[in-house]
Structure formats: structure tokens, C-alpha cells
Amino acid sequence: MLTALDIADIVLIRKVTLAFGRGLAVLTGETGAGKSILLDALGLALGRRADAGLVRSGAAQGVVAASFAPPPGHPVHALLQERGLAGDPAEEGALILRRVVRADGGSRAFVNDQPVGVALLRELGELLVEVQGQHDARGLMDPSRHRDLLDEAAGAAAERDAVAQAWARRRKAAEALAALEEQVKAARAEEEWLRHTVGELDALDPQPGEEEELAARRTQLRNGAALADCLRDALAAVSGQEGVEARLSDALRGLERRAAEADGLFEGAVAACDRALDAAAEAVAALEQAGERLELDPAVLERVEERLFALRGAARKHQLPAEQLPAFRETLSARLAAVEQGDAALAQQQAALAEAEQAFAAAAAALTARRQAAAAALAEQVSAELPPLKLPDARFAIEVLPLPAEQAGPAGMDRVAFLVATNPGVAPAPLHKVASGGELSRLLLALNVVLTRDQAIGTMIFDEVDQGVGGATAAAVAERLRRVADRVQVLVVTHAPQVAAAGARHFRIRKTAEGGEAATTVEPLDDTARLEEVARMLSAAEITPEARAQAARLLAPDAAAAG
């Protein structure tokens, strides 16, 4: 909701500060007083195009600040947080959009006194304010919004959610199928190579750690003769008549023969020689065992080298270390299996996609049925509002047509358009192509009365919605504006006294001459001033007692309620 508007040095306005509240606010004034200036100024704060001509003559710059009070959870909080300009989106607080326009045409934008780009100001403005009129391409005039508006009126949130979920599942299934098709295509392209290579590796049958073991064994086999000589020398040194073992045995026997005479002196030496003799025996056994294990057969060496060279040759061929050959074999085998099982996997994924498409089509059909029923009911309700608004021959229709299959999406398979014909015998045309400003404004008013709108938009502006009408039609316009204002803040620029009398707040726009210079002022009216303004609107050149009496009747609470 717009709470305040501050304007300085814009066109003919020197300085104006206005406070707004809930309900219907009316802006009146004589023709040429500058009512459009007020809306142009607000447009600047909402991110509309800046122009040097908007700066008051002689001023260096013009400034407009619009203050809003968006409720907790309003989309602007999330947008501000996304841009790093706010804290918790659930927090409530004032939001001030400010625009400074220099005399040279340049401009700056601010949100809560933080500099921002004009594009962000425009985004925020579109979330806060909706201008109803044929020259405003947003809101009801935006054909891309018609489907959402119809769904809101239909209460189709559950159906929309079901369609969005079904679409997400369908898209996921389609992406999975596309990925699988690419995998199978790539695998089939290399199938011959895979079969040949896997066959070679199967024949080779590389084992983990095999290359390292073969290299160690090859080294041992190639040094076999030298190792055998070394073992023989070592065995001769330990065993035999001249070996360590025989000498230790002789020494132990000698010590044992003389031990009784030594009175315990030889006990340590006897024990040590005994242990050394045992160790020598172990050494002999180990040397003999090593000799038995030592392979000296050249044929064995040849076989080991052939196997080692085969493993290393395969590793060079596939440009990887030999120890990775077993894992490489498994990888290629899996890819070959994917080729062999590709048709079955593709068929399974195609079936999953077909199932997802059927589920989406069913959910979309349910949403379409809901839309068609709501379209007929909504068109009937809007049509019932048109005769009192001096549109007796107007026909309003809502078109729900199927989209091309490739344009279906999370919102379903329908294109929705609001159509209207204001003259008999003329086929309904899209709402945004209707040319008559007054008729279109009243038609938009009727739509706003009937539609169940997303209340994120807190402020609606109607510019001269009563153009070209008076009497009962103007009263009907006033009554419908008041109904819209029961849900959302409404600002209306009007020439109709019936509409002016319906407002909860009334602002008068006047043009004055100060020191030979024209200036536009805006002032809120109290009850007395308001009576005079409505009487002026009812009168011709002079405000008469009859005009004041009629104004008092229009402003009476009972009259307002009956309107």
C-alpha cells in the first residue's frame, strides 16, 4: 500500500507531500490543473522513463519519493533480500522508492536511501502498483498474465501444482532418456573396438599386482647362477668338515670334557656354544631351503619374461600403467554390456517417459477443464457488470485454446486470452487491442470487481475511468471503485462528482500563478472543502446553493452506501 508521496520540483509542482491510507482516494481538479503531473511523478518513483522536461523550470533537479508499507511475506521482501537490500523477508517495514532527475535528463534511483539501478526500481514498482488503462501494458492489459488471472479466479491452485509436478517428472524422464540415448549411441559407435579390446584383455587376463610380482621373479631368475654360487659358498662356510657348524661342535665337546675340572668356569661358554650351534643349524636349514626354491630353469625365465612383456605391451597400447589393466578391462566390459543391454534399457526409459507424459496430459486436461468452466462463469459475471457502466452492447469472453505441444509447460497446455467486443456485429478481439480509452477503462474496472486477484499488488490506479459518462453511469463507476477498494488501495483521477464523493480521501489539484509563474498544488480536503469541490464539479461557472445541496446528498454516508 502506498502510504506517502513526496514531490519536489517536478513540472509545475514546487513541493508536495501527500499521505494516503486504505480504501479509495480520489484526485480532482479543473481541466489543465495538472492531475497527470501527479501520476507522472509517481511513475518516476516506480521506475518509469525519466525526461529532462519533467524537472521544473529553473530547478537543478526534481525528486520524487514514494513510501510503501508492504505486509510480511510480500514478494518485494524476497526481491530486496535477493539483491542484498533487506533482511528477513518476513519482516514488516517501510519501503521508500526515490528517484532524482537532473535538468540534463540524467537520473538516479534509491531504495531506502541505498543507490540502485532503475531496473530494480521498475521491478519493485510492478510488484507494488498496477495502473489500469489502455496505455499501460501491465496487469490486466498484459496477455501473458491472463492465464494466471483465470487460474486465480478458478481457484485452480491444486490443479496447477499437480500439473507443475507432473511436468517436472516428465522433464526428468525426458532428460534421462536423452542422456541414455547419447550413451548408447556413443557405445554403439565403438562397439567393434570394444569387443576386440575386451576379447584381447580377457585372453590376457591381467591380475592385480601381477606385473610387480613378475618383475621381481624375472630379476631373481636372471641372477639365478650367481645366487646359487652364493648359496653354495655360504652353506660350505656354515656346514661341512671345515664349516662353522663342525668347529662349534668340536669346541663344545672339548669344553664339556673338561667342564668338571673347571669348577663351573666353563658353564657360560658351554651355553653360548650350544646356542651358536643351534643357530648354525638353523642357518644351514635356511640356506638349503633357499637353494631348493631357487629356479635355474631357462624355460621358466622365458615364460616369465613373455608374460611380463605381454602385460607391459598391453599397458603401452592403452596408454596406462600395467597395474591399471584389470580395472580398465572391467570398465570396457561394462561399456560393452551397456551396448548389449542398450535396447532393453532404452525401452524401459521410453516406457517411463510415456508414463510421465500420460500423467502430465491427464493433469493438464483436468486443469483445462477447470479453466474452461471458470472462463464461462467469469465471462458471465463480467458481462453482468457492463450494462451499468454504459457498455450495454459490450461482450466479454475468455478464450481457452490448446497450445502447440512444444509450448506445453508447467502451467499446462492452454493459451488464455481476454477478449472484448464493444459494438454489435464485431467479433471479440484481444483486450489489449481495444482502442477506446473510456470504454476500456470501465471494462478493466468491471474485471477488477469480479476477479479474485492476487493481493500482492497493494495499489491500483485508475486514470479518468469515468471519462465520457455521468449520472447513473458515474454512480455505477463509483460503486464499483469502492468495491475494488474494499480489497486493495485505489487511487482514481476523476471528473465525476459521483466518483469524487465515493472516496475515503479526497485531494484537490489546482494550478495557481505566483509571481507570474504557474504552479500546481495538491491539498487534502477536509469535509467543508470537499463539499465545495464536489459542488464545483456539479456546477457550471458558479457554485450555486443547489449544487452545494446536491453535493451534500452525494457525500452523505447513506448516499455513499446506496451508490
Position 35 scores a pLDDT of: 77
Put residue 209 in one of left, alpha, beta given phi > 0 → left and psi -120 to 50 → alpha: left
Confidence grade of residue 431 (pLDDT, cut at 50, 70, 90): confident
From 126-130, 184-188, 293-297, the region with the lowest mean pLDDT: 293-297
Is residue 272 a part of any domain in this protein? yes
Residues 76, 46: contact at Cβ < 8 Å? no
Position 138 scores a pLDDT of: 55
Share of the chain above pLDDT 90, in %: 42
Cell of 5: 508521496
Share of the chain above pLDDT 70, in %: 91
From 103-107, 131-135, 248-252, 322-326, the region with the lowest mean pLDDT: 131-135
Is residue 149 a part of any domain in this protein? no
* Over residues 98-122, mean pLDDT: 92
Position 315 scores a pLDDT of: 93
The arrangement of strands across the sheet holding 517-524 comes to 129-132, 459-463, 489-493, 24-28, 505-514, 517-524
Kindly tell me if the per-residue pLDDT of 340 is higher than 90: no
Kindly tell me if the per-residue pLDDT of 137 is higher than 50: no
The domain of 304 spans 191-337
Is residue 218 a part of any domain in this protein? yes
Give pLDDT tens digits for 361-411: 999 999 999 999 999 999 999 989 888 888 888 888 999 999 998 999 999
Give pLDDT tens digits for 182-239: 888 887 888 888 889 999 999 999 999 999 988 887 777 766 667 766 777 787 788 8
Is residue 88 a part of any domain in this protein? no
From 30-44, 143-157, 515-529, the region with the lowest mean pLDDT: 30-44
Position 436 scores a pLDDT of: 62
Query: Structurally, how many domains does the chain consist of?
Result: 1
* Over residues 319-342, mean pLDDT: 88
Is residue 473 a part of any domain in this protein? no
Position 540 scores a pLDDT of: 67
Nearest partner of 162 among 20, 336, 364, judged by Cα: 364
- Provide the angle, in degrees to the nearest 10, between the axes of the packed helices 224-238 and 267-293: 160
- CB within 8 Å of 174: residues ≥ 6 apart: 353, 356
- CB count within 10 Å of CB 296 equals 12
List strand residue ranges (DSSP E) for 290-343, in order.
Answer: none
Is residue 72 a part of any domain in this protein? no
From 121-125, 312-316, 442-446, the region with the lowest mean pLDDT: 442-446
More confident residue, 62 or 342: 62
Instruction: Provide the mean pLDDT of the chain.
Output: 86
Is residue 480 a part of any domain in this protein? no
Give pLDDT tens digits for 18-63: 999 999 999 998 877 777 888 889 999 999 888 888 899 889 999 9
Q: What's the CA gap between 381 and 400, in Å, rounded? A: 17
Cα angle, residue 179 at apex, residues 175 and 180 outer, rounded to 5°:
115
Kindly tell me if the per-residue pLDDT of 561 is higher than 50: no
Residues 99, 50: contact at Cβ < 8 Å? yes
Q: What's the CA gap between 548 and 441, in Å, rounded? A: 29
Position 29 scores a pLDDT of: 87
* Over residues 516-528, mean pLDDT: 88
Residues 444, 133: contact at Cβ < 8 Å? yes
Kindly tell me if the per-residue pLDDT of 558 is higher than 60: no
- CB count within 10 Å of CB 356 equals 21
Confidence grade of residue 562 (pLDDT, cut at 50, 70, 90): very low
**How long, in residues, is the chain?**
563
Is residue 319 a part of any domain in this protein? yes
Residues 63, 98: contact at Cβ < 8 Å? yes
More confident residue, 188 or 559: 188
